[in-house]
Structure 1
Amino acid sequence: MHNDLAYEYDIHLPSGGEEGKKYPAVFALHGIGYDEQYMLSLVEDLKEEFILIGIRGDLPYEDGYAYYYLKEYGKPERKMFDDSIGKLKHFIEYALNQYPIDSDRVYLIGFSQGAILSMSLALILGDKIKGIAAMNGYIPSFVKEEYPLQPISHLSVFLTQGESDHIFPLNIGQENYEYLRQHAGAVKYTIYPAGHEISQDHQRDIVSWLRHDAFHHNSNKATNPA
């Protein structure tokens, strides 16, 4: 781990990279109790096209890690949440300077706690982020109301939700969709016949979406839930 960084991480660079060539990058944020390897395994098919960076939360939680702890589901410990946002911003800035990343094609993907952080970071980092894939999360009200938000009219979003998610039910996904389609440039919202989890269909669609957005510059308008 770099001395300056709060987080351990695993990075995969395309093999046989050309001198001077820059690549799109995916920063992957796991859910509470998971780790960076789980998230990296979801996008392994992109390892020769993207720089893949899995960031491990710095707090132990059950068999995995967390970026912050909760008072209860849907209620982060505010000081810890704020600190994690600051540390992740610093991490992304470090990586952009350290690795051959195309700064116009930076993506965040996250599940659960990682989705919450991905959406929040996109709102405050503005045009530093090209797109996000946010799986089964929400945007805390204090982020929308108190954080210094940047315009995200350029942002591509792949928003997903599990039909039988018992932690973040469907109305949460709908709220995310309604908010993001008012502010982001392109929003795809898909509901999967799954719970609080990432299915194989889900994984396939995320890989396809990332590849298409990074290399074909998708400019579709918001699309309805499917």
Structure 2
Amino acid sequence: MKTSYPYDIHLPSNLDPDMKYPTIFTLHGKGSNEKDMFGLVESLMDHCIIVSIRGNLTVGEGYQYYELKSLGNPIREMFDQAIRELEAFILYVSEKYPIDSTKRYLLGFSQGAILSMSLALTMGNQMKGIMALNGYVPEFVKTEYPLQSVQEVSLFISHGEFDSVFPIRIGHETAAYFRSLTPHMTFKTYPIDHGVSVENQRDLLEWIKLDSGIV
């Protein structure tokens, strides 16, 4: 199978051929690339597989997974296609590498967070958990997609208190939405703009270590 997305895969240096490993799939923000997100979880690479997915569309000097009509308003057809292709990508890579299908995680920032939360809703318990930083769930996903239960999916959602792209109100609304769907939801805010602080990174690493038993 030819995948729709270029990707980097980082396998544990002491890979045991008889083991399957917890895996983090990363999705970057608009205009960035796969190396940006890898840095957030690089310290875990001896204990899990990290799959860094690059958007397949160029924007400026970086990449994206879909285009926008306006800020916060994805082109629906492109968004739908990205969801379908990312689902297929996750399943394909899970067959190709020694990935523990009961411990698959998504880590996304901004556009990547939007996709991560939407994929949680479409894939349900095929994912063990997601880490969504500074994003939201499009209304059409909530109302028009065939949603799966996330009752058993773990979520770490964070948002910048001074986010100038997606105001903090959106973060609180997103947290409230998922709080109604699963008891396994952690929501944190940080005194930053549209980015990831050192504290945010520390908290997400502690969260995934605890949730997955990685270390």
Tell whether the structures are fold-level matches, with TM greater than 0.5: yes
Q: What is the match of residue 122 of structure 2?
A: 124
Match of 1:31 among 22, 29, 32: 29
Q: What is the match of residue 154 of structure 1?
A: 152
Q: What is the match of residue 62 of structure 1?
A: 60
Q: What is the match of residue 98 of structure 2?
A: 100
Q: What is the match of residue 221 of structure 1?
A: none
Aligned residues: 214
Deviation at residue 63 of structure 1 after TM alignment = 2.0
Q: What is the match of residue 13 of structure 1?
A: 11
Deviation at residue 185 of structure 1 after TM alignment = 3.2
Distance 1:39 1:82 in 2: 23
Q: What is the match of residue 89 of structure 2?
A: 91
Deviation at residue 20 of structure 1 after TM alignment = 1.3
* Residue identity in the other structure for 1:75: N
* Residue identity in the other structure for 2:108: G
Match of 1:145 among 143, 146, 171: 143
1:65-103 Cα offsets, whole Å, 9 max, x none, are 000010111100000000100110110010110111111
Q: 1:123 to 1:180 in 2, by over 3 A?
A: same
Distance 1:185 1:26 in 2: 22
Q: Which 4+ stretches in 1 moved above 6 angstroms?
A: none
Distance 1:112 1:62 in 2: 17
Q: What is the match of residue 223 of structure 1?
A: none
Q: What is the match of residue 222 of structure 1?
A: none
SS of the aligned residue for 2:185 comes to: strand
SS of the aligned residue for 1:25 comes to: strand
Match of 1:71 among 60, 69, 72: 69
SS of the aligned residue for 2:4 comes to: coil
Q: Does 1:42 align with 2:44?
A: no
Q: Does 1:183 align with 2:167?
A: no
User: TM-score when scaled to structure 1?
Assistant: 0.93
Deviation at residue 50 of structure 1 after TM alignment = 1.0
Distance 2:114 2:56 in 1: 16
Structure 1: which 5+ residue stretches go unaligned? Answer: 217-226
Distance 1:84 1:8 in 2: 13
Q: Percent identity?
A: 48
CA contact 1:152–1:185 (8 Å) conserved in 2: no
Distance 1:129 1:19 in 2: 23
Q: What is the match of residue 207 of structure 2?
A: 209
Structure 2: which 5+ residue stretches go unaligned? Answer: none
SS of the aligned residue for 2:180 comes to: helix
Cα RMSD, aligned residues only: 0.9
